[in-house]
Amino acid sequence: MSAAEQPWPRDGLFARLRAACAPEWRRYVEHDFVRELARGTLPERAFRHYLGQDYLFLIQFARAYALAVYKSSSLQDMRDGLAGLKAILDDEMSLHLRYCRSWGLSEADVEHLPEAPATLAYTRYVLETGMAGDLLDLRVALAPCIVGYGEIGWAMARDPATRRDANPYRDWIATYGGADYQAIALSAAAGLDRLWQERAGGGRFERLVRIFGEATRLEADFWQMGLSAG
């Protein structure tokens, strides 16, 4: 596939951050967990561990979206944050629990899981960085997850190496490679540019690179946590 078809913005803040953190980004989006999931060779135990932690992760990400609403200085920013918060608390969490059940994890199983160190490190880093900084810092800390899953899903859905038939993870691929999630991810990337215009300049880019790079490393650690449980 030619770069021209790649829908991910080649300009703008997200593209600049990704370029500035290229090695970390590659370790994240091309992690073995991702590769094996696409090929259907990921051990089910690894996926199940990831699924359970992803539920605990969602709870903290809902808190991060609530923080984004609190941190907003315009109604537009408040509504953007609320959309993410509702998506998680009203829809994704119950979808996630249903999906967990299809993998043999009951609601009770999932709710009593302790948070793995990788879950804890990533989610608290995002929340704390967002609280200490402003809305742009928070949105940049969220981007490797929100935009990154879109890029991973998009690439996976189009990669000839992806196993489509009888891949136990086809639902996951369909979700993140699907049009609905792609729209969410692109809108999050566009939102970063708007916030940059409104707030940032000067040496701020370097600080945002640090946040983006740290969050990307923590995302890769999250895959590794899953893979190591396999």
Nearest CA to 31 out of 122, 151, 139 is that of 151
Residues in the chain: 230
Least distance in Å: CB of 114 to a copy of itself? 8
145 catalytically annotated: yes
| DSSP type of residue 42 | S
Provide the terminal-to-terminal Cα distance of the chain, rounded to the nearest Å: 32
Does residue 75 belong to the site contacting a copy of itself (CB under 8 A)? yes
Binding mask 132-151 for a copy of itself (x = CB under 8 A): xxx--x--------------
Judged by CB under 8 A, the residue of 12, 39, 40, 78 near a copy of itself is: 78
Cα–Cα distance, 84 to 90 (Å, whole number): 10
Each residue 148-187 as x (binds a copy of itself by CB under 8 A) or -, in order, gives: ----------------------------------------
Burial class (CB in 10 A: 0-12, 13-18, 19+), 123: buried
Is residue 84 a contact partner of residue 65, using CB atoms and an 8 Å limit? yes
* Cβ at position 103, least distance to a copy of itself in Å: 21
Q: Is 115 helix (H, G, I), strand (E, B) or coil?
A: coil
Among 128, 164, 190, 228, binds a copy of itself (CB under 8 A): 128
Site residues, a copy of itself (CB under 8 A): 59, 62-63, 66-67, 69-73, 75, 78-79, 81-82, 85-86, 89-90, 93, 115, 117-118, 120-121, 124-125, 127-129, 131-134, 137, 196-204, 207, 214, 218, 221
